[in-house]
Chains A and B, each alone.
Chain A
Amino acid sequence: MSDPGAAVLLAVLVIPALGAGVLALLPDERKGAWLNVFLSFLTFVCALLLIGERPAPGPYLIVDDLNAVFIVVSTLVGFTTSVFSATYIAHELETGHLTHAHLRFYHAMYQMLMFGMNLALLSNNVGLMWVAVELATLTTVVMVGIYRTPAALEAAWKYFLLGSVGIALALFGTILVYLAARAVVGEGLDAMAWNILVANAHAFDPALLNLAFVFLLLGYGTKVGLVPLHAWLPDAHAEGPTPISAVLSGLLLNVALFAVLRFKGIMSANPAALAPGPLMVTLGLASVLFAAVMLYRRQDIKRLFAYSSIEHMGVITFAFGMGGTLANFAGLLHMALHSLTKSAIFFCVGHIAQAKGTQRMADIRGLTVTHPVLGWSLALGVIAIAGLPPMGLFMTEFLIVTSTFARAPVLAIVLGLSLLVGLGALLLRLNEMAFGEPDGRRDPASASFLPVGLHLALVLVAGVWLPPALVSWFQYVASLLN
């Protein structure tokens, strides 16, 4: 272990894996919550170090420019969510929603989920990545069902069934990719390693690759929540504990999208294969359009923001499908900012649901009067997620729409209109919740606003002034994606 990069890389995986074991054995759940925070922070620091110290790609693990972006965003949100979770989950214990044993299990599963996601992002093997995504999915299934209410069980069961079907299709696609690679690279591990696959993709059989990509897009697309395959997403978000909703929206959807991007890279490297762009553009646009309309009919606050996640994943998939340095840049930045904003919103929603004792939007009114900090944080978050200036998501959506205008004006008009429709729904709901006549319960919200403040501040800064170093880094990654 002379290479410092390899040691750091290993640490990003070993810390959560060992942490899950320790947390499962630790009897005191207060200590467990703070150990969870500490471990997540350590993982985040190690992930930051990975940017500077990059180990050489091995047969199983790799750090390149693309997954460095994802792993930093992932571990940052993982850390802040653990802070939020520590203040949130104690309240669940007081109200009797969860028992001590559940809480121990919850913290262990949280680290297990982090391990699964980090492994999926860092793997240099299509099979290993598939296993990691499967692991992350199974842990979230268990966490969604943790309250054991009928609604939670239904949500978990639906998520499990749709997720398994998705993962089965993805495995079939993975096998087809291996078959295509075997004819060129030869048998064994090489035929499953990313860097070798991309380098040799030009010689693969295009027909096999095409079929493989259809399966992979449908399989991992189920996890992204793209529209014909999204049915699990709103239920899973609404019925699980709120920190899990934040991690699902902010991170797990990204991990699945990352898998699609990796395979898109292989497809683009083969000139004879089907262009992956139009497929992704179609699915992305369908998601945006559908989610924007569905936003109007929501009555549950967590479902509202779950549909908003479908909308934004659609926007990101659309941007990567369009391709080109500008659209890729905007898509990548949009992905990072959406993770930050959406998890901040779910932090607020968690505190609101605890203070008001309900998730029904009709019963949540006048938050800026009863809970000023909470109400204004939610307002700021919704303004950001709706894509209004000066927040960062305005800039990225603007970039995506304008760069599309130059190449496919009709698509840009449809996308722009759908975004406006979605914006209308979000502002309508926000107006009632934040500024209506206050009523209902008024329990004080005892919460840490550090995670919310940090996320929203980052999103605001991104909208006003992006550091040049960050811009050039993202631009470089965007050009690699072409």
Chain B
Amino acid sequence: MIGPLALDVAHLFAGGLVLVSVMLLYQDRMTGLINTFALHALVVSFSVAWQAFIQDAPHLYITAAIALVVKAAVIPLALHRIVVRLGIHRTIEPTVGIGLTMLAAIGLIALSIMVMLPITAQAGALAREDLSFALSVILLGLLMMISRRNAVSQVVGFMSIENGLILAATGAKGMPLVVEISVAFSILVALIVIGIFLFRIRERFETVDIHLLHEHRGEQP
């Protein structure tokens, strides 16, 4: 059976992930944003590894390793290279002010806790808190995607959503391996796509600000 200390540690990691998600929202430099995302991936990989340990589910270590190697190391390095090559170190253009975003973030976290806790009362203590934290991370990632114009920060927002999904999937005890691998796999595939896109967008526009793309729509509104 899962002891109270084990649960506390699991909650520490999950809560830490929410905290890092909030940190992502107030980064005003590209390098800071990418480093914070690496931290995000690191926390998720610790969280998954801890789940693997307390649930006695060794296959989850694979998911943790993938998160550690790919998302905490390879992707941040690649993003750093893209950012340097494009010369956009300091250009993060939020569409909404930071203060307003933070207020919205607090509201979203409260919302997800209030929605999830009563519903998952029977789902067991582990799944209960994990799911509400996971929903917070997903909602904060969505907030990030709509409050930033820059393609790189939107990609980071999307990957933080994926981290939240991994947290939810590992919290649901005994979920078949299919899904864990698929999540990791889909991130890889998504990255290839993103890579191609970033490459092409840069090639055509010399910038990754997708706001500029709107000028090219085939139709007047």
Which A positions have Cβ atoms within 8 angstroms of B?
Answer: 125, 127-128, 130-131, 134-135, 138, 141-142, 145, 148-151, 153-154, 156-157, 160-161, 164-165, 168-169, 171-172, 174-176, 178-179, 182-183, 187-189, 191-192, 205, 207-208, 210-211, 235, 238-239, 298-300, 303, 359
The complex places the Cα of A151 from the Cα of B179 at a distance, in Å, of 35
Indicate if the CB atoms of B213 and A205 lie closer than 8 Å.
no
The complex places the Cα of A235 from the Cα of B219 at a distance, in Å, of 10
Interchain CB contact (< 8 A) of B193 among A141, A238, A239: A141
Indicate if the CB atoms of B219 and A299 lie closer than 8 Å.
yes
Indicate if the CB atoms of A211 and B119 lie closer than 8 Å.
yes
**Shortest distance between the CB of A150 and any CB in chain B (Å):** 4
**Shortest distance between the CB of A60 and any CB in chain B (Å):** 9
Sample of 23 A–B contacts (CB below 8 Å): A127-B176, A138-B190, A142-B193, A148-B200, A160-B193, A161-B145, A164-B161, A165-B145, A168-B161, A168-B165, A171-B179, A171-B183, A176-B131, A179-B127, A179-B131, A182-B172, A182-B174, A187-B173, A187-B175, A192-B176, A208-B119, A211-B115, A211-B116
8 tightest Cβ-Cβ pairs between the two chains A and B: A187-B174, A150-B216, A154-B213, A127-B179, A131-B182, A207-B119, A127-B178, A168-B161
The complex places the Cα of A179 from the Cα of B168 at a distance, in Å, of 10
| Nearest CB in chain B to that of A126: its residue | B179
* Candidate in A128, A138, A153, A205 with the most chain B CB atoms within 10 angstroms: A153
Indicate if the CB atoms of A303 and B219 lie closer than 8 Å.
yes
Indicate if the CB atoms of A150 and B213 lie closer than 8 Å.
yes
A interface majority secondary structure:
helix
| Nearest CB in chain B to that of A167: its residue | B186
The complex places the Cα of A189 from the Cα of B178 at a distance, in Å, of 9
Indicate if the CB atoms of A208 and B120 lie closer than 8 Å.
yes
The complex places the Cα of A187 from the Cα of B154 at a distance, in Å, of 36
The complex places the Cα of A239 from the Cα of B123 at a distance, in Å, of 46
Q: Does B98 make an interface contact (CB < 8 A)? A: no
Known: A125-B178, A168-B161, A192-B176. Contact between A151 and B216, CB under 8 A?
A: yes
* Candidate in B161, B179, B183 with the most chain A CB atoms within 10 angstroms: B179
Indicate if the CB atoms of B201 and A157 lie closer than 8 Å.
yes
Indicate if the CB atoms of B200 and A153 lie closer than 8 Å.
yes
Indicate if the CB atoms of B119 and A175 lie closer than 8 Å.
no
The complex places the Cα of A239 from the Cα of B219 at a distance, in Å, of 11
| Nearest CB in chain A to that of B192: its residue | A138
Known: A151-B218, A161-B145, A208-B119. Contact between A128 and B178, CB under 8 A?
A: yes
The complex places the Cα of A359 from the Cα of B219 at a distance, in Å, of 11
**Shortest distance between the CB of B218 and any CB in chain A (Å):** 5
B interface majority secondary structure:
helix
Q: Does B169 make an interface contact (CB < 8 A)? A: yes
Interchain CB contact (< 8 A) of B196 among A135, A142, A210: A142
| Nearest CB in chain A to that of B168: its residue | A175
Known: A148-B200, A148-B204, A175-B168. Contact between A154 and B214, CB under 8 A?
A: yes
**Shortest distance between the CB of A209 and any CB in chain B (Å):** 10
Indicate if the CB atoms of B197 and A157 lie closer than 8 Å.
yes
The complex places the Cα of A176 from the Cα of B175 at a distance, in Å, of 11
Indicate if the CB atoms of A172 and B182 lie closer than 8 Å.
no
* Candidate in A130, A175, A176 with the most chain B CB atoms within 10 angstroms: A175
The complex places the Cα of A101 from the Cα of B153 at a distance, in Å, of 32
Interchain CB contact (< 8 A) of B182 among A127, A189, A359: A127
Q: How large is the interface on B (under 10, 10 to 19, 20 to 34, 35 or more residues)?
A: 35 or more
The complex places the Cα of A29 from the Cα of B174 at a distance, in Å, of 47
**Shortest distance between the CB of A105 and any CB in chain B (Å):** 11
The complex places the Cα of A217 from the Cα of B200 at a distance, in Å, of 33
Indicate if the CB atoms of A153 and B201 lie closer than 8 Å.
yes
Indicate if the CB atoms of A157 and B151 lie closer than 8 Å.
yes
**Shortest distance between the CB of B63 and any CB in chain A (Å):** 14
Q: Does B217 make an interface contact (CB < 8 A)? A: yes
Q: Does B66 make an interface contact (CB < 8 A)? A: no
Indicate if the CB atoms of B138 and A168 lie closer than 8 Å.
yes
Indicate if the CB atoms of A299 and B214 lie closer than 8 Å.
no
The complex places the Cα of A187 from the Cα of B138 at a distance, in Å, of 25
Indicate if the CB atoms of B186 and A175 lie closer than 8 Å.
no
Indicate if the CB atoms of B172 and A179 lie closer than 8 Å.
yes
Contact residues in B for A128 (Cβ distance below 8 Å):
178
Indicate if the CB atoms of B174 and A172 lie closer than 8 Å.
no
Known: A153-B197, A154-B210, A187-B174. Contact between A238 and B218, CB under 8 A?
A: yes
Known: A148-B204, A168-B138. Contact between A182 and B213, CB under 8 A?
A: no
* Candidate in A142, A160, A192 with the most chain B CB atoms within 10 angstroms: A160
Q: Does B65 make an interface contact (CB < 8 A)? A: no
Contact residues in B for A161 (Cβ distance below 8 Å):
145, 154, 158
Interchain CB contact (< 8 A) of B172 among A141, A142, A156, A178: A178
Q: Does B189 make an interface contact (CB < 8 A)? A: yes
Contact residues in A for B138 (Cβ distance below 8 Å):
168-169, 172
Indicate if the CB atoms of B123 and A179 lie closer than 8 Å.
yes
Contact residues in A for B145 (Cβ distance below 8 Å):
161, 165
Interchain CB contact (< 8 A) of A150 among B162, B168, B190, B205: B205
Contact residues in B for A156 (Cβ distance below 8 Å):
197
Indicate if the CB atoms of A189 and B216 lie closer than 8 Å.
no
Contact residues in B for A239 (Cβ distance below 8 Å):
218
Contact residues in B for A191 (Cβ distance below 8 Å):
174
| Nearest CB in chain A to that of B182: its residue | A131
Q: Does B75 make an interface contact (CB < 8 A)? A: no
Starting from the known contacts A157-B197, A157-B210, 8 additional A-B residue pairs (CB-CB under 8 Å) come to A138-B190, A161-B154, A168-B141, A168-B158, A172-B165, A187-B174, A187-B175, A211-B115
Q: Does B64 make an interface contact (CB < 8 A)? A: no
The complex places the Cα of A344 from the Cα of B145 at a distance, in Å, of 37
**Shortest distance between the CB of A154 and any CB in chain B (Å):** 4
Contact residues in A for B118 (Cβ distance below 8 Å):
207
Contact residues in B for A359 (Cβ distance below 8 Å):
218
Contact with A along B65-87 (1 / 0, CB 8 A): 00000000000000000000000
The complex places the Cα of A300 from the Cα of B219 at a distance, in Å, of 7
Indicate if the CB atoms of B158 and A164 lie closer than 8 Å.
yes
Contact residues in B for A153 (Cβ distance below 8 Å):
197, 200-201, 204, 213
Known: A130-B182, A164-B158. Contact between A300 and B218, CB under 8 A?
A: yes
| Nearest CB in chain A to that of B215: its residue | A150
| Nearest CB in chain B to that of A239: its residue | B218
